[in-house]
């Protein structure tokens, strides 16, 4: 069984000031997504599904198909690509969005857009995050081991220290889990940064406490999840309940951690917390870009990735 990679690429980077998913940061103009797909193929994935917006789908799809022409899976078969669109109005019948609302409904809504094209275990990642080779191997192995299970999902947790930006504070969901590594909660913290004293501080969005000392070794969510296909129906049920309370909202979003939290509390789903030694990096702020470019150049110089990543 070859799992599928679902790439969330519909978001525009408001802080970054452009379409981050199309930005070349590798030595030969590679995007962050290019590296994720390279690592996923090495880890045994067989299909890539992109969630995009309608207004840039044509340009995006053309770029993807040209770039990856001839790329094959580990078993020699062609790597398959599919594209689905996330739009505000794509919600269940009976609900009407606020006419003044502009943005779609968040990451868990984006995942639901792929319900009709994914029928095998799949990973979810952000299009603008670098997760590292180990992370894809760890998640790929988990997905293959859970091909025939239902109601058990997974999240890859990154050590908080390995996810910070040197350009400003970041928001991270800190994972709480029991002795069996089952997720019990994801608590969102804002304005997380390592200060001059070497200690990591952040603001707890749940309790309202500010400048809280955080454990740099704590595992946090970078939106890298593993799901089996039954997740779609369970998430859709949670989305219906969410819309009953929030359909008229201008800003409320349906996030994956929220959907998972509802399933855990309702007893309809459980989530394994997988740890990875990989160091995350990405372009959160425009000022992060030079550092990301330097990191990919370093990885190429060490021979970890070829340059160019994909040969024409």
Residue position matching structure tokens 């525009």? 12
From CA 32, how far away is CA 131, in angstroms rounded? 9
Other beta carbons less than 10 A from residue 159's beta carbon: 18
From CA 71, how far away is CA 312, in angstroms rounded? 10
Could you list the pLDDT tens digit for every one of the 312 residues in the chain?
899 999 998 874 333 344 544 678 999 989 899 999 999 999 999 999 999 888 888 888 888 888 898 888 888 899 999 999 998 888 888 888 888 888 888 899 999 999 999 999 999 999 889 999 999 999 999 999 999 999 999 999 999 998 988 778 888 889 999 999 999 988 889 999 998 888 999 999 878 899 999 999 999 999 999 999 999 999 999 999 999 999 888 888 898 988 998 999 999 999 999 999 999 988 777 788 899 999 999 999 999 999 999 876
CA 147 to chain centre: 21
Whole-model pTM? 0.91
Q: What are the DSSP E strand ranges found in 132-263?
A: 152-159, 170-177, 183-194, 200-204, 212-214, 219-227
Fold of 4-301: Spore Coat Polysaccharide Biosynthesis Protein SpsA; Chain A (3.90.550)
Q: Cβ neighbours of residue 199 under 8 Å, at least 6 residues apart?
A: 213
Closest to 237 (Cα-Cα) out of 255, 256, 262: 262
Read off the pLDDT of residues 39-53 as tens digits, 9 standing for 90 and up. 999 999 999 999 988
């Amino acid at each position: 069984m070859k799992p599928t990679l679902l790439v969330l690429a519909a978001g525009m980077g408001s802080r970054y000031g452009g379409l981050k998913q199309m930005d070349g940061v590798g030595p030969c103009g590679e995007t962050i997504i290019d590296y994720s797909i390279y690592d996923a193929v090495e880890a045994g994935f067989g299909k890539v599904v992109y969630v995009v917006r309608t207004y840039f789908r044509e340009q995006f799809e053309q770029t993807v198909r040209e770039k990856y022409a001839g790329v094959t899976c580990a078993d020699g078969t062609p790597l398959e690509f599919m594209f689905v669109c996330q739009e505000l109005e794509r919600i269940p019948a009976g609900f009407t969005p606020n006419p003044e609302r502009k943005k779609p409904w968040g990451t868990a809504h984006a995942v639901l857009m792929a319900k009709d094209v994914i029928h095998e275990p799949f990973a979810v990642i952000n299009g603008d995050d670098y997760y590292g080779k180990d992370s894809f191997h760890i998640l790929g192995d988990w997905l293959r081991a859970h091909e025939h299970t239902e109601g058990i999902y997974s999240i890859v947790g990154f050590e908080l220290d390995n996810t910070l930006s040197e350009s400003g504070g970041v928001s991270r969901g800190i994972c709480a889990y029991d002795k069996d590594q089952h997720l019990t909660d994801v608590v969102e913290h804002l304005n997380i940064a390592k200060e001059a004293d070497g200690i990591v501080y952040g603001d707890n969005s749940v309790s309202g406490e500010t400048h809280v000392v955080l454990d740099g070794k704590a595992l946090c969510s970078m939106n890298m999840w593993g799901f089996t296909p039954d997740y779609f129906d369970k998430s859709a049920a949670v989305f219906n309940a969410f819309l009953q309370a929030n359909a008229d909202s201008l800003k409320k979003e349906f996030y994956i951690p929220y959907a998972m939290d509802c399933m855990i509390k309702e007893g309809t789903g459980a989530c394994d917390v997988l740890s990875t030694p990989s160091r995350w990096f990405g372009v959160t702020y425009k000022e992060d870009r030079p550092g990301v470019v330097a990191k990919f150049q370093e990885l190429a110089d060490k021979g970890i990735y070829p340059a160019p990543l994909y040969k024409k």
